[in-house]
Amino acid sequence: AQRVTQPEKLLSVFKGAPVELKCNYSYSGSPELFWYVQYSRQRLQLLLRHISRESIKGFTADLNKGETSFHLKKPFAQEEDSAMYYCALDTGNQFYFGTGTSLTVIP
Partner 1 sequence: EAGVTQSPTHLIKTRGQQATLRCSPISGHTSVYWYQQALGLGLQFLLWYDEGEERNRGNFPPRFSGRQFPNYSSELNVNALELEDSALYLCASSVGQASYQPQHFGDGTRLSIL
User: Which of residues 6 and 77 has its CB atom nearest to partner 1 in the complex?
Assistant: 6
Contact range with partner 1 by CB under 8 A, out of 16-24, 54-62, 71-79, 93-101: 93-101
CA distances in angstroms from 46 to 29, 67, 79, 103, listed in the order given: 23, 24, 19, 16
Show contacts with partner 1 in window 52-71 (CB under 8 A): none
Out of 22, 60, 90, 102, the only residue in the binding site for partner 1 (CB under 8 A) is: 90
Cα–Cα distance for residue pair 40/106, rounded to 1 Å = 16
Cα–Cα distance for residue pair 38/35, rounded to 1 Å = 10
Q: Does 8 help bind partner 1 (rule: CB under 8 A)?
A: no
- For the chain, give percent helix, strand, coil, nearest 5: 5, 50, 45
Contact range with partner 1 by CB under 8 A, out of 16-24, 58-66, 71-79, 83-91: 83-91
Q: Does 40 help bind partner 1 (rule: CB under 8 A)?
A: no
